[in-house]
Structures are given as C-alpha cells and as structure tokens.
Amino acid sequence: MLPKLSYMRQIDEVQAASIFFRAMRKIMIDLCQISCQQKVDDLAHFAPPGRSLNCVAILQRVCHSGIVRLEFMCETKDKIFVVMEKLNGDMLEMILSQAAGRLDERATRFLLVQILSALQYLHKQGIAHCDLKPENVLLSEMNTNFPQTKICDFGYARFIPESQFRKTIVGTPAYLPPEVLLRQGYNKSLDMWSVGVIIYVTLSGTFPFNEGDEVRASLQ
C-alpha cells in the first residue's frame, strides 16, 4: 500500500523508469525521489534485467553517509515504486557548471575522499558498484565547491566474494576497465578503475582514452 504522496512533477525518464519529485505529507520538508517501473508477469525477467529490484536489494543491506538512502519500496498490481532520498545535483552537473568545464584539485580531492570512503564500505560488504561515474555521485548542494556526496544507482551492483570473478558486461563503457569489455573476468577492483577515470574527467573535463573528447560535447 502506497503512503500518501503528493506528486509534484516528473523530472526524468530513464529507460523503463519514470522518476518523480514527491513530498511525503507526514514529513513535508523531506523531498524524495521515486522510481516507478512497470512490472512484468515474471519478475525474474524484469526489464531492464532486474535493475530496480537489484538496487533495492543492495540498498536494504547498506548504511553509510556516502550512499543514497532508501526510504521505502512497495508494489501495486502493475508497478514497483522505489523511493530514495532526494539530493540536489550530481558531480557531472557540478563539472559542467564550471566555466572551464572541470574542477580544481582541492574540490576534486574533497569529493573523492568521500567517494572512496563509501566505496571502501561497499567493498568490505562484498559489493562492487560496477557503474561508478559522475552522474551516479549525487551532491547535497550545488551552490558550493565542497558538498557532501552520495553514491547512487546500484542497478548494476554485484556481490563478488574475494576469490570470485564475474564476466557479464555491466556499467558504462567509458568508465570500465578493459577486462570487463573483453569479458576476461573482473572483481571489485573494477570500481577503482572507474574512480581513476572519474578523477581524470573531473580535473580535465575530457575522457582519458579519447584525447580532446570533451565531456560536455559527448552529452550533446
């Protein structure tokens, strides 16, 4: 049963999911984010493949100041609602909002220390995020160079024990190590490669393996 929600406006649509702002009437000042996805008859064949349910399963197990908070999840006859805390922007927006299209070393270091703290926590839980990129690092505020960060979007996340490897293709190609793209097997260390790419993108405004390919231009 859905709690009483006040839908304000749709803000985005990602694949099969529609994302809405909403305010819970019980906590009027608490703005959250709802992901509403159509159900199919067999949840084992959820499309995109189990991503929303996978995200919920991960978020229900973790608790860290650097990870987006799951408010609640519920189902109706034909929809699944996933409600998470609402933040005010992401690292990509922060990078693109700068006149130079990049951040300075001090701001980058401040953000990365937080990301690495959350990542260390996840890896200790045996969880690999598998899709780290600036768009998946949410920010508490956009009007400061030193906001709190929270990792989000655990749709591709995997539980990977220390002695095991995975070969399925996950994540965003520009931020993935070669062994993922070549299906040679990967473990939680793929997240550290992604962090390296994030550092490069944040400081330069370009991708490391396509010299001169600006992040801003790639989004147009």
Domain segments of the chain: what residues? 5-85, 89-218
pLDDT reported for residue 209: 81
pLDDT attached to residue 43: 34
Burial 137-159 (b: 16+ CB within 10 A, else e): bbbeeeeeeebebbbbbbbbbbe
Query: According to the model, what pLDDT value does residue 46 have?
Result: 35
Q: Which CATH number fits domain 5-85: 3.20.10.10, 3.30.2130.10, 3.30.200.20, 3.30.420.40?
A: 3.30.200.20
Predicted confidence at residue 3, as pLDDT, reads 54
99 and 218 Cβ atoms separated by less than 8 Å: no
Indicate the helix (H) or strand (E) that contains 28. Answer: strand 27-38
CATH of domain 89-218: 1.10.510.10
10-residue mean pLDDT profile of the chain (220 residues): values are 50 47 37 51 40 83 94 76 84 90 95 98 96 94 92 92 83 89 89 96 89 52
Tell me which residues are annotated as active site.
131
Kindly report the pTM of this predicted structure: 0.77
CA–CA gap between residue 15 and residue 162 (Å, rounded): 32
Q: What is the dihedral of CA 194, 200, 205, 207, to 10 degrees?
A: -60
Can you tell me the distance from the alpha carbon of 220 to that of 208, in angstroms, rounded to the nearest whole number? 19
Per-residue pLDDT, 200: 95
Instruction: Give the residues across from 27 on adjacent strands.
Output: 24
Find out whether the peptide bond into 134 is cis, omega within 30 degrees of 0.
no
Displacement of CA 150 from its chain's centroid (Å) = 8
